[in-house]
Amino acid sequence: MPGMVEIDAGSKDKAENDILLGVLDLVERDPAVTQRSVAKELGIALGLANAYLKRCIQKGLVKVSQVPRRRYAYYLTPQGFTEKSRLTASYLAYSFSFFRQARMQMAEIFSAATKRGQRRLVLIGDGDLAEIAGLVAGKHPVEIVATFAALRDTTELAASLDGFGNIDGIVITETQAPRDVLEAALARFGAERVWVPALLGVRMPSPTEQRA
């Protein structure tokens, strides 16, 4: 089974850069953007959207002008355009690296699962990683029986799997709360039937920890 790694210390910085890139992109596309529309488009809290807009202004990435009816218009500065280009390049590089790692690790998981006779698999987590897993699965003698959003409770997991017949194994593809999902899956299926790609940064418990 692929080895586990600790959480990347730069993951927080990446998340912040993703939000910053989103703010700059929205401002470039619509100078009449508001804090509320930024929050809605990026799926973040209103206060966080406000904080990022202020940060962009303070850093000289965005300038703001008052327009009629007490509204504001936001514009990217030359420095803002430069920073947006840099963040875009960084995002694309990360995305390519993520896809490459995910594809390789999923192939390793499916190969190992097949050797254990596990062919009917369920994905827990319905984001980008699950989509990549689905693509890779087509090249292996496995069947993705179902894909679920994050299931963090053992009872919820068991209820969701009812009606799918025999499930040979679980592959964790949840990226936001993989540790919680892993614990629920282990409680239901045991370590021999649960698979976690290393890029999620969670550690499989040792046999001693599992017995505790």
Q: For 96-123, write each residue's pLDDT tens digit.
A: 888 999 999 999 999 999 999 999 999 9
Q: How far is CA 93 from CA 20, 105, 136, 145, 163, in A?
A: 17, 18, 21, 32, 41
Mean pLDDT, the chain, as a whole number?
85
Say whether pLDDT at 204 is over 50.
yes
Residue-wise pLDDT tens digits, 18-61: 899 999 999 998 888 989 999 999 988 999 999 999 999 999 99
| Domain chopping of the chain, boundaries | 11-90, 99-211
- Six-digit token string for 196: 């976690």
Percent of the chain at pLDDT above 90? 49
Residue-wise pLDDT tens digits, 140-191: 999 999 998 877 777 877 788 877 888 999 999 988 788 888 888 898 888 9
User: What strands lie across the sheet with 169-172, from one edge to the other?
Assistant: 143-148, 120-124, 169-172, 194-195
Model confidence pTM above 0.75: no
Which class is 11-90 in CATH? mainly alpha
Please give the DSSP secondary-structure letter assigned to residue 142.
-
Q: Which CATH number fits domain 99-211: 3.40.50.2300, 3.40.50.150, 3.40.50.1370, 1.25.40.10?
A: 3.40.50.2300
Say whether pLDDT at 9 is over 60.
no
Torsion of CA 172, 99, 87, 175, to 10 degrees: 0
